[in-house]
Structure 1
Amino acid sequence: MDTKEQLAQHLLTIEKWEKDQKGLWFWEKIGRIPFKILDKVTPAFIQNKIAELVAELGNYIQTGGRYLISERGMIEKVKKESKVQNIESIKDIANLPIESMISLSEALQQNRVKLATVQGASTGIGGIFTLAIDIPVVLGMALKTLQEIAILHGYDPNDKLERVFIVKCLQFSSADIVGKEAILKELSTMHENNQASENMISQLQGWQEVFFTYRDQFGWKKLFQLVPIAGILFGAYANRSMIHDVAEAGMMLYRKRRIYEKMQELEEL
């Protein structure tokens, strides 16, 4: 069982990470400009494909859609890798020590980053014309990764409000400093009230914001995909960075939430 001292130390690590989220790198700032130009020259079939994707992703919050993962496989994986045999449900995973959650999440992050690198390199060959394929694939990978991280911390993505939290993690990974601060404030209600706030659904501005924020974030990198060979390298780097940042945000935000809940449980003993 985690002690109060151990939980407090883990919380300090997360708070330091939050302070480090000061803003965007210079290249990320100018990266939001190119895609505003690209919008004007992007073929209509790609624009239509993007519009379809935005509508489809909207279904994720309501029903999970095709992006909702099966938790059974993750539960078995946690049981095997943690060597704790009495894990039969997601609620059982919540009782694991924070250290176990950290090691399991970091291993998952490394695996997903490798997959994203390969996927980005393969779609980087076609430049802007493979963008219609690249964005939904890597965004789907981000959703899957965040759902798996949720399960690794004992939270069920089948819960609608849990999917709202996942969307917030995705938003956080690509937001500027003002956006990050706003999201952290919203998420604080989840541990202060020990439950997800219904208000978060109304606060959520929708998948379109998430989608276009992500797209703008990688604008300058995707421009390099227009260059033969270089597109492979930049496609790989862009997707690798995307999944790394998404996984890191999910790990830290879910860990913080679980730490607060464990602290509250200790106080009630």
Structure 2
Amino acid sequence: MTYETQMAEESRLWKQSQLRRPSFLERSSKKAQTKMNQLIPEKVHTTITESIKKMVQATLIGSNVTTFPKKIENLTFEEREQLVEKTIGTFKKTAAIEGASTGAGGILLGLADFPLFLSIKMKFLFEVASIYGYSTKEYEERLFLLYVFQLAFSSEAHKEETLEKIEYWDSLKNEVKDLDWRVFQQEYRDYIDVVKLMQILPGIGAVVGGVANYHLVQQLGECAMNCYRLRIFSNRK
């Protein structure tokens, strides 16, 4: 079995795992978060959505400026993935240091962690796109990265639709003009709220911040690799 055949099967199994029925605990947690969100005034939701939208867009611009193309023209698919694995390792360490630093600083630095960690994750995704041979100068490729990000940090309710867009992106991208920013920010906040609340607690914030950021980048890395696999292999069918 070739490496690509093996990875095609691995990505298929990963896709199936993403489409599994949520557990009772996950369903209960999502219901509780939905009820909490319903109690928040609409003006607050609008303000948060716009704030995160601008924050992400600014991060995308910054990541595009600071991400340098790698010389990957002659690399095989397997060599590209080995480079992605190394990149995941580097960014996990960077994110862990950032999380531990802001977590140790209490509430104020804990709040600063949100944009800093977001920037790290976006830069990571730009690096991954470059390694797989996609130009993030194109709007469609930056939008693709946002869907990868959303898939990594969202509930099961939104995964099926997002997965379809990702797998068949090259045939659907002209139909997908923008992201639902309300869903994007709400799903992301719901996903990481508990961890980030623990990160600002005295005494344990540094440990929680470092460990959480390390594993969240690992999760994003696994998601990004499988999303690109699905996309690449779907074009070969």
Scaled by the length of structure 1, what TM-score is found?
A: 0.72
Q: 1:135 to 1:185 in 2, by over 3 A?
A: same
Structure 1 CA distance for aligned equivalents of residues 84 and 9 of structure 2: 18
1:10 counterpart residue number: 7
Moved more, 10-19 or 127-136: 127-136
Q: SS of the residue aligned with 1:146?
A: helix
1:128-152 Cα offsets, whole Å, 9 max, x none, are 4334311111111111111110011
Structure 2 CA distance for aligned equivalents of residues 29 and 127 of structure 1: 30
Q: SS of the residue aligned with 1:96?
A: coil
2:218 counterpart residue number: 244
Aligned length: 229
Q: 1:240 to 1:215 in 2, by over 3 A?
A: farther
TM superposition shift of 1:101: 1.5
TM superposition shift of 1:125: 2.1
1:30-49 Cα offsets, whole Å, 9 max, x none, are 48749x59x98xxx9xxx89
Letter in 1 for 2:134: Y
Answer whether contact 1:67 1:143 (CA < 8 A) is retained: yes
Structure 2 CA distance for aligned equivalents of residues 112 and 29 of structure 1: 32
Q: SS of the residue aligned with 2:177?
A: helix
2:180 counterpart residue number: 205
Aligned residue among 127, 136, 159 for 1:148: 127
2:61 counterpart residue number: 65
Structure 2 CA distance for aligned equivalents of residues 260 and 134 of structure 1: 37
How much is the aligned-residue C-alpha RMSD, in angstroms?
Answer: 3.3
Structure 1 CA distance for aligned equivalents of residues 185 and 144 of structure 2: 16
Summarize the alignment of residues 119-198 of structure 1 with structure 2, pairs less than 5 Å apart.
Answer: 119-191=98-170, 193=171, 197-198=173-174
Summarize the alignment of residues 59-138 of structure 1 with structure 2, pairs less than 5 Å apart.
Answer: 64-71=60-67, 73-75=68-70, 79=71, 92=73, 96-138=75-117
Q: 1:216 to 1:155 in 2, by over 3 A?
A: same
Structure 2 CA distance for aligned equivalents of residues 159 and 223 of structure 1: 36
Work out which of the two has the higher radius of gyration on C-alpha atoms and give 1 or 2.
1
Answer whether contact 2:104 2:206 (CA < 8 A) is retained: yes
Letter in 2 for 1:96: L
Structure 2 CA distance for aligned equivalents of residues 112 and 66 of structure 1: 17
Structure 2 CA distance for aligned equivalents of residues 29 and 157 of structure 1: 38
Answer whether contact 2:110 2:200 (CA < 8 A) is retained: no
Letter in 2 for 1:54: K
1:82 counterpart residue number: none
Summarize the alignment of residues 248-267 of structure 1 with structure 2, pairs less than 5 Å apart.
Answer: 248-261=222-235, 263=236
Report percent identity of matched pairs.
Answer: 23
1:53-105 Cα offsets, whole Å, 9 max, x none, are 43242456xxx42232445x341xxx4xxxxxxx5xxxx2xx53221111101
Q: 1:23 to 1:126 in 2, by over 3 A?
A: farther
Letter in 1 for 2:92: V
1:137-169 Cα offsets, whole Å, 9 max, x none, are 111111111111001100011100001100000
Structure 2 CA distance for aligned equivalents of residues 28 and 128 of structure 1: 30
Q: 1:124 to 1:18 in 2, by over 3 A?
A: same
Q: 1:53 to 1:260 in 2, by over 3 A?
A: closer
